[in-house]
Amino acid sequence: MLGTALTTQTTGSFFGKKRADLKKRIWQHRWLYLFILPCVIWLLVFCYYPMYGATLAFKDYSYKLGILNSPWAGLKHFRAFIYSPDFWRVIKNTLVISGLKLLFSFPAPILLALLLNEVQAVRFKRVVQTFSYLPNFVSWVVVVSLMNVIFSPYGGVINDLRKNAGLETIFFMGSREYFYPMVILSDIWKNAGWGTIIYLSALTSVSPELYEAAAIDGAGRLKSTFYVTLPCIKGTIGIMFINAVGGLLNAGFDQILLLQQPDNQLISDILDTFVLKTGLSQGRFEYATAIGLFKSVLSLVLMTLANEVSKRTMEVSIF
């Protein structure tokens, strides 16, 4: 009894001390915490507070009763989604598009960053960097409008060139076979430049001495990249990979929605566009929320798996 009491007392004092230390440290850095406060409030208000809305997935929504007071409906909206004839098609499309982006768009900024890192002319490097960042600030609406103009079968630049060369015009934006290339190429064009920022900052932390040592050992530029640069930034790549897998089911809503055409409908309908069409547009908020929740749970599972893989292969993890 006494032993237990002592242990409890010891443990209690241990945690009490730790708590006091924490408070002391918070007070010491109070100004820094004050800076964080707006972000914490933002997070609480815009990310945590709306989470109660997820209960909508289990309810029959009534305008008058609101989310909290609407009657419970069990899993009926999840069942409606899972048994809908489009379920597997939509899941497959989402995974295929996301997988292709992971395969091609994810490495693109790494490659570009490595190339930029090798450029010796500082001014040229800065110009290239600036130009590669610009597409990031152009909205998808503008990007797809530009693509429509460039690739139009009626007066588009590409098709005019084809016609002048005696070739048939092609409806690039509306043909099934060109859908995936259009998605991936436009995604790389828009996002690769901006994505290099994080890798370029990681590259600056690589010690020049390692390159010197590699050079003494006879390594050329390519070997230095493989044996020095990449291992040094693998932590950053790992973290970015985990995040990318976490967003795998997002697939790029606005891009895909804008690129949808009748002919590519079967392969371009992803979870988010499906939610818009069958849920939000028709006022089936419960159904849309159920699909959204389903997606979030699946994303969490994928992210956990990616975290495990990254932990084992790259010794990097976020939890």
Partner 1 sequence: MYKLKWTGRAMALGLATTLMLAGCSSGSSAATSTAGDNQTTAAAGEASTIDGSTATDTQKYDDVKLKMLICWNGGFKTASDQYNNEVAQAIRDKIGVTVEYEGIMMSETEKLNLVFASGDMPDMINAPYWGGDGGETAVIKKAAREGQLLDIKDELPKYANLSDAYDVGIVSQAFLENDLDDPTFGGARYILPQETPGDVADITNWAYGVFVRGDVADTLGIDPTTIKTTDQLLDFMTKARDYGFKDVNGNDIITATTFHEGWDYGQYAMNFNSKQATSFVKQDDGTYTYNTLTDNWIDSNLFIWKLVNEGILDKECFKQSDDLANQKVGNGTALFAAAQYSTVINATKLTGLYDSNPEMRYVPVGPLNYADGEASVQVELKGRNGSPAIIFPTSNQNLEASLAYLDYVNSEEGARLCQYGIEGDTYEMNSEGQPRLLQSILERKQNGDTTVDDELREKGIGYILGRTLQADKRMTWWGERGAGDADVAITELVAYQEARPVEQLAGYPIDKLAQSFEDYDTLKTYAFDDTTKNDYTQRAFFADTEDEARSILEDYQDYLTSQEGGLFQKYLDYANEVAKTRDDVIN
25 is a site residue for partner 1 (CB under 8 A): no
CB of 135 to partner 1, least distance (A): 23
Binding mask 65-104 for partner 1 (x = CB under 8 A): xx------------------x-------------------
User: Which phi and psi angles does 152 have, rounded to 5°?
Assistant: -60, 140
49 is a site residue for partner 1 (CB under 8 A): yes
Take residue 59 and report the two structure tokens written for it. 């309810």
142 is a site residue for partner 1 (CB under 8 A): no
CB of 260 to partner 1, least distance (A): 8
CA-to-CA separations, 7 to 4, 16, 21, 215, 304, in angstroms, rounded: 5, 14, 21, 59, 37
Which one among 40, 75, 146, 157 touches partner 1, defined by CB under 8 A? 40
Distance CA 158, CA 150 (A): 6
Which one among 15, 35, 36, 41 touches partner 1, defined by CB under 8 A? 41
Using the contact rule CB under 8 A, the part of the chain among 22-30, 197-205, 222-230, 293-301 near partner 1 is: 22-30
Distance CA 151, CA 159 (A): 7
- Which of 250/260 has CB closer to partner 1? 260
Counts of helices then strands in the chain (DSSP H, E): 17, 0
Which one among 63, 72, 137, 319 touches partner 1, defined by CB under 8 A? 63
Q: Which of 246, 289, 251 is nearest to 271 (CA)?
A: 251
Strand partners, 72: 59
12 is a site residue for partner 1 (CB under 8 A): no
- Which of 4/164 has CB closer to partner 1? 164
Length of the chain: 319
Angle, alpha carbons 133-135-140 (nearest 5°)? 145
Distance CA 100, CA 112 (A): 18
268 is a site residue for partner 1 (CB under 8 A): no
How many residues belong to the site for partner 1 (CB under 8 A)?
Answer: 39
53 is a site residue for partner 1 (CB under 8 A): no
Angle, alpha carbons 109-111-114 (nearest 5°)? 105
Using the contact rule CB under 8 A, the part of the chain among 233-241, 242-250, 274-282, 292-300 near partner 1 is: 274-282
Q: Which of 293, 286, 248 is nearest to 270 (CA)?
A: 248
Angle, helices 230-246 vs 285-314, to 10°: value is 160
- Which of 55/225 has CB closer to partner 1? 55
Distance CA 189, CA 47 (A): 30
278 is a site residue for partner 1 (CB under 8 A): yes
Identify the helix (H) or strand (E) that includes residue 82.
helix 76-82
148 is a site residue for partner 1 (CB under 8 A): yes
Which one among 6, 36, 45, 161 touches partner 1, defined by CB under 8 A? 45
Q: Is 72 helix (H, G, I), strand (E, B) or coil?
A: strand
CB of 226 to partner 1, least distance (A): 45
Q: Which of 138, 168, 142, 166 is nearest to 153 (CA)?
A: 168
Using the contact rule CB under 8 A, the part of the chain among 7-15, 20-28, 182-190, 304-312 near partner 1 is: 20-28
Q: Any residues with CB less than 8 A from the CB of 143 and at least 6 apart, and which?
A: 135, 186, 189, 190, 255
- Which of 172/294 has CB closer to partner 1? 172
CB of 74 to partner 1, least distance (A): 17
Residues that bind partner 1 (CB under 8 A): 23-24, 26-27, 37, 40-41, 44-45, 49, 61-66, 85, 148, 152-155, 171, 173-174, 260-263, 265-266, 277-278, 280-285
